[in-house]
Structure 1
Amino acid sequence: MVRIIGSPSRYIQGKGTLSELTKYTEKFGKKMLVLVSKSGKGRVEEKLNTAVNGTDTELVWEIFNGECSKGEVERIRKTVEEQKCDIVVGIGGGKILDTAKAVAYYANISAVCVPTAASTDAPCSALSVLYTDDGQFDEYLWLPKNPDIVLLDYDIVATAPIRLIISGMGDALATYFETRACMRSDATSCMGGKVSKTAMALSELCYQTLISDGPKAKLSLESGACTAAVENVIEANTYLSGIGFESGGIAAAHAVHNGLTCIEETHHKYHGEKVAFGVITQLMLENVPEDELEEVLDFCIRVGLPVTLQDLGIEKIDRAQLLKAAELACAESDTAHNMPFEVTPETVLNAMLAADRVGHYYKNLFA
């Protein structure tokens, strides 16, 4: 089997980059559909107006309805067609970016991802995660190519709510462990190939960056400072994790996240927050050495990621409810089966219960 590495055509990260957007997009087209939330528009409108000032690029604004669903993708695709846009620019969180990528695919136009927070590894990937209109996981939409441009502006990303970058750390935390599992099982990556040494190295660098710079980045952001640690974590959350997971693969951690979406009490939690608990669950499935488990739990507790079911909003453990989540995690089409051993709803349920207990133990130990 071939080894395949996917990446965006351009990855741009720096201060004031959004005000220079047209410098990077001019070769793709002149009419942009800008997909953004109502509140997000207020944060970026001035910068985008600066970017198009003095150029012949035209902006068409579209407000995101809140869910990356098939209906929302089709609604925006129709607008693209009616307005004759040749670029779709998604500005916001993971669901907006995934929607923009899906729209670009169906409309056969260029895709630009502009995260307003380093909260997921979605921007760089050739993947859109589709949900139902009420927020439950629906399916993965694998795309034929990565975005044309991924652009992060420190003026926006570093001033986003700190919880968002912490959630991004939770999502990125899974990259190394899931890529390692896929390499051990010889699973097929998200790109349709086997795990390359490059993907494994990027995934490991992602993990090392989180461990060394994650807690410092959190403290820096709490003081209102954009330090080298913050810049490193932004790169880890977005690029290293994005390329690592896609060229490496995903396994039980993200499958557990998908399962947890069926529990209403978790709906207020961000993607990466649920993935972080999925990482601990995967480590319990693998029965990793105690020092590795302790390093992960120490990191999660220090930066404020969930390590227990209670942290996810589940105040009372309901085994039947958790079994339903475990069954969803083990769906035939999901990625728990990329683990290097058989995974069943019963083993996932037991791993979630054990992860919860271990999380409580270490929270008390590190208190």
Structure 2
Amino acid sequence: MAEFVILRGFIKIPISRDAKTPDYKYSVVMGVRRISTLFYNSKDVHFHYSNGTVIILPSKARKERANKSLVSGTEMYDPKNTDSRSKRYWLTNLYRRSVVSVERVFTLVVELGPMHRVYASPDRYIQGPGALERVGPLALQHGKSALIISDSDVWQVVGDSVEESFNDVTTTMERSNFTGECSTSEIDRLTDVASKRNADVIIGIGGGKAIDTAKAVCGRTGEVVGSVPTVASTDAPTSSLSIIYTEEGTFERAHRHDFHPSFVVVDTNVVAHAPTRWFISGIGDALATWFEAKATWENEGRTIHGARPTYASKAIARYSYDLLRENAEDAVHAVNEDTVTESVEAVTEATILLSGLGFENGGTAAAHAVHDGLTTLSGISDATHGEKVAVGVLVQLILEAYPKEEIKDIISFADAVGLPVSLRDIDSIDPTREELLRVGHVACDSEGSMGNEGIDVTPEDVANALQTLDSINESE
């Protein structure tokens, strides 16, 4: 059996790359405080699947019985004695590293065998000036009735071009207004619209939230989705994820679909004329891709597909980072002038395509976990996804104990392109320790991506890293 690794109040048993398929279907380890016990009674547990791992949660009844029957640190049983009460196989001596002091029954996570590598991507990616002319012909390849989801501001910019792209095709097109938040209620509303109009192609046009909403609607209707980002602000357009928020904009969950966009169309004329802040935000989101993929790879973590990262995704993530370092400053200057240059093309591709493929197939880690936590802070509701991720990248480097000079180098780059490098930069002024711990608790949630870090990160660690980041910036 593989070595235990303790993570955020539960235990995970990772399977190494050369591991053999275990000859057991599953095992369950639970414990209270300083005692660990192996149970085989499936009635005592609930099963949950997350990140390619079966997480086995103790039932309420199991917790109650365990709290009554197990005494902190006072009972030691021979792991070889298979006749111990209730067929418990005690692991205290055999896996002493797994015995930790906790105040509740913790969870054991057991892989059901070695994971395969998985690489997933959209069917087609098209980028360049004037690419919007391809939307109608691409819709024709997939259906007869297209529903476009976009807000009124976006439609004012691209509506004429998109409508013209449908002039010479037989596919019909209608638009439904997107209200601005990828929330459950908005997904419900637009799913109803799509069903009533018998749409067989759903096209999200705009930012990441509009596109994520279109994907979520397709997840309900089973139709084809097209992705047409009008800003290079995130790597959402190519992925199979929808990030769901509350109606107030607080992160709720990440939902993975079993499909990708059938086509992604990026018109760089539109990207270059959009507000520069969105372009910079995309650089912040993509900046995390290499560091998170590197952490996932080195720690034998899992991607959103519950799979091992591929060599291709690792290389793509690295090249995305290299393109940003080589081109980002020049690209930002060009976008400020509403100009499409080769640097703009390079950064747009790095942000949308390479970062999208890199994060989905290479894995995410602390940077995006911290982003999720930062959504709970008051005063930063106007901060973009990429701006919060940029802060998350720096927190990840601190948690991983990167050399201070390397952290300062990333801070210098981020600052040069206009990204936030502290909580103050995203309008969080002097948050309390309690608020920082709340960020940490969300970041360390077992459903998140913090588990791909090779260290046991606690909410206190995240809070401390956020404070350290502010200290580093104040010292400059």
Is the TM value for this pair above 0.5? yes
Q: Deviation per CA, 1:324-360, whole angstroms, max 9, x where unpaired? A: 1111111121111210111110111111111122233
Is the Cα–Cα contact under 8 Å of residues 308 and 357 in structure 1 kept in the other structure?
no
1:276 aligns with 2:390: yes
1:295 aligns with 2:431: no
> Which of 215, 237, 242 is the matching residue for 1:123?
237
Q: Secondary structure at the match of 1:158?
A: helix
Greater percentage in strand: 2
Which position in structure 1 is the counterpart of 2:165? 51
Shift of 1:223: 2.6
Q: Deviation per CA, 1:250-295, whole angstroms, max 9, x where unpaired? A: 1110011100101121110000000000000000000112342122
| TM-score in terms of structure 1 length | 0.97
Which position in structure 1 is the counterpart of 2:204? 90
Is the Cα–Cα contact under 8 Å of residues 439 and 462 in structure 2 kept in the other structure?
no
Query: How many equivalent residue pairs?
Result: 362
Bigger drift between 166-175 and 188-197 goes to 188-197
Q: Percent identity?
A: 38
User: Bigger relative contact order, structure 1 or 2, given CA contacts below 8 A and separation 6+?
Assistant: 1
Shift of 1:196: 1.2
| TM-score in terms of structure 2 length | 0.75
Is the Cα–Cα contact under 8 Å of residues 139 and 171 in structure 2 kept in the other structure?
no
> Which of 315, 340, 358 is the matching residue for 2:454?
340
Shift of 1:91: 0.4
Is the Cα–Cα contact under 8 Å of residues 195 and 221 in structure 2 kept in the other structure?
yes
CA distance in 2, matches of 1:285, 1:202: 24
Structure ID, larger Rg: 2
1:326 aligns with 2:445: no
Shift of 1:192: 2.1
CA distance in 2, matches of 1:17, 1:252: 35
Which position in structure 1 is the counterpart of 2:123? 9
The within-5 A match list for 1:192-271 is: 192-271=306-385
Is the Cα–Cα contact under 8 Å of residues 308 and 360 in structure 1 kept in the other structure?
no
Is the Cα–Cα contact under 8 Å of residues 137 and 169 in structure 2 kept in the other structure?
no
Shift of 1:37: 0.7
CA distance in 2, matches of 1:126, 1:206: 19
Q: Deviation per CA, 1:64-107, whole angstroms, max 9, x where unpaired? A: 11110111111111111100000011001111010001111111
Is the Cα–Cα contact under 8 Å of residues 36 and 63 in structure 1 kept in the other structure?
yes
Which position in structure 2 is the counterpart of 1:132? 246
Which position in structure 2 is the counterpart of 1:172? 286
Greater percentage in helix: 1
Which runs of no fewer than 5 residues in structure 2 stay unpaired? 1-114
Which position in structure 2 is the counterpart of 1:31? 145
Is the Cα–Cα contact under 8 Å of residues 139 and 146 in structure 2 kept in the other structure?
no
Amino acid at match of 1:222: N
1:316 aligns with 2:405: no
Which runs of no fewer than 5 residues in structure 1 stay unpaired? none
CA distance in 1, matches of 2:299, 2:262: 31
- Which runs of 4 or more aligned residues in structure 1 lie more than 3 Å from their structure 2 counterparts after TM superposition? none
